[in-house]
């Protein structure tokens, strides 16, 4: 069974929230980019929490048969990117999220409530 990109994004959001991720949002970038369909963006207070969030997202998606294509940034855990093809999960430390401000950079994207 293959899950829809919407369901994958929703599962990633839920997994991040399980580890107390802050300000978890889903952006639908399908109509404005060829990168993927959805970004899931969230933040944690520390590198330990960022790693815990990323690991939980990976674990929960894998339990549902969704394998990541790649992961970047896990060692430093300031900005961890988990690439699932149609869904890309960004887990930031708060200061890095403010600095990179993906929500503003992708300002034309719709915030989705799944």
The alpha helices in the chain, defined as continuous H runs, are 5-18, 47-63, 94-100, 102-105
Residues 16 and 59: their CA atoms lie apart, in Å, by 11
pLDDT at 1 > cutoff 60: no
What's the CATH number of domain 5-112, 3.30.460.10, 1.10.10.10, 1.10.3210.10, 3.40.50.300? 3.30.460.10
Looking at the chain, the whole-number percentage of residues with pLDDT higher than 90 is 93
- 3-class DSSP state of 1: coil
Average pLDDT, the chain: 95
Residues 43 and 53: their CA atoms lie apart, in Å, by 9
Domain coordinates of the chain in residue numbers?
5-112
Encode pLDDT of 60-95 as tens digits: 999 999 999 999 999 999 999 999 999 999 999 999
Model confidence pTM above 0.75 = yes
What confidence score (pLDDT) does residue 2 get?
A: 82
């Amino acid at each position: 069974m293959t899950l829809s990109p919407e369901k994958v994004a929703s599962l990633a959001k839920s997994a991040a929230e399980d580890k107390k991720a802050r300000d978890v949002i889903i952006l639908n970038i399908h109509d404005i980019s060829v990168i993927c369909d959805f970004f899931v963006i969230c933040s944690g207070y520390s590198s330990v929490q960022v790693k815990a969030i990323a690991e939980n997202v990976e674990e929960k998606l894998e339990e549902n048969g969704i394998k990541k294509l790649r992961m970047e940034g896990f060692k430093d855990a300031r900005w961890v990117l988990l690439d699932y093809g149609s869904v890309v999960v960004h887990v930031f430390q708060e200061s890095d999220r403010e600095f990179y401000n993906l929500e503003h950079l992708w300002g034309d994207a719709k915030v989705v409530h799944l």
